[in-house]
Amino acid sequence: MVSTGDMTLSSLGLDIDPAVDASVSATLTAVEEALRANVASADPLVAEAARHLADAGGKRFRPMLVALGAQFGDPSAPEIIAAANVVELTHLATLYHDDVMDEAPKRRGAPSANARWGNSVAILVGDYLFAQAADLAASLGPEAVHLQARTFARLVHGQIAETVGPRGSDPIEHYLHVITEKTASLIATSARFGGLFSGAPAEFVEALASYGETIGIAFQLSDDLLDIASESVQSGKTPGTDLREGVPTLPVLYALAGDDTDASAGRLRELLAGGPITDDERHAEALTLLRESAAMKKARETVRSYAEEARAALAPLPAGDPKRALEGLCDFIADRTS
């Protein structure tokens, strides 16, 4: 069995109705079983490389949103498992491509596919997984195909925007645009798929999609903050990796845009302005200053504001245990970097 990752509802410490928790867990277990079949290939090399990241586990946040969205219709509808696999296969495919573009040596604690098999194989395996996702979407009907294709287009636009940079636009607005397109778009489709293929009413489906997009932004922002705030490998990578690699996440952008006159803020701007911080002493200093900075506090407030916006998007949904589960997820994401 493939690992179910570290973000099932029961692992989050939320006050979740046991029936909802059991339903979501059962869906995620079935998704894992189907995922192994969907990454299979008659070519042994493709099969091994395609299984590489699926076997490494991961949060499975997107399938979880499908399962939660399905609670507003029939969560046992057979299309739910296929829909969850469409979004997870799409997500996995982007990871293969991302690692090539980032020249990443590791992913989820293991050697990345590009480090193990080379860039060409990693790119082609990503393409194969996209093809598998598209084929599975076709089995769900034309609407699923359109939604998956449009989501894929947004993912590509987000990656292009990240690659070319702000090009004169506000860096903070650009950063938020990138994560909206590159991350939140697929999470929105995940929640939409859950409602759509469970047979939920149209107004519920739209509310779920709106929730998914906004909670997707909060989710990515909180991941970026964990890279700074965590003292462990809670974020899935060594703390401060983004600083070392020169990745300008929201706290860094807030710090660079700040006009604080105190010495620590000035020193932090000086350290961050030079790009990647590879020197161990400077890296440790920057990480300490950033953790204690007004910029970090502001970034946490931004995460919470998006989480509250996501909660507000749930207004059209009926009161009950499924809605409380989605609200609990807002609290979890807002609080995990405190």
Per domain, the residue ranges of the chain are 17-200, 201-337
Q: Give me the pLDDT at residue 2, please.
A: 34
Architecture of domain 17-200: Orthogonal Bundle (1.10)
Q: Is it true that 17-200 and 201-337 share their CATH fold?
A: yes
Q: Give me the pLDDT at residue 108, please.
A: 63
Task: Give the residue from 157, 276, 175, 165 showing the smallest Cα distance to 220.
Answer: 175
Higher pLDDT, 62 or 100: 62
Global model pTM greater than 0.75: yes
Q: What's the mean pLDDT in 168-189?
A: 96
Architecture of domain 201-337: Orthogonal Bundle (1.10)
Higher pLDDT, 193 or 5: 193
pLDDT, one tens digit per residue, over 193-247 is 999 999 999 999 999 999 999 999 999 999 999 989 877 544 456 788 889 988 8
For residue 256, how far is the Cα from the chain centroid? 25
Task: Give the residue from 99, 96, 97, 87 showing the smallest Cα distance to 133.
Answer: 87
136-168 burial, b if ≥16 CB within 10 A, otherwise e?
bbeebeeebbebbeebbebbeebbebbeeebee
Question: Per-residue confidence at 56, pLDDT binned at 50, 70, 90?
Answer: confident
Three-class DSSP category at 107: strand
Report percent pLDDT > 70 for the chain.
94
Q: What's the mean pLDDT in 324-336?
A: 94
Task: Give the residue from 159, 163, 310, 101 showing the smallest Cα distance to 222.
Answer: 310
CB neighbour list of residue 52: distance below 8 Å, 6 or more residues apart = 110, 113, 116, 125
158 Rama class: left (phi>0) / alpha (psi -120 to 50) / beta: alpha
Q: What's the mean pLDDT in 113-134?
A: 89
Question: Per-residue confidence at 336, pLDDT binned at 50, 70, 90?
Answer: confident
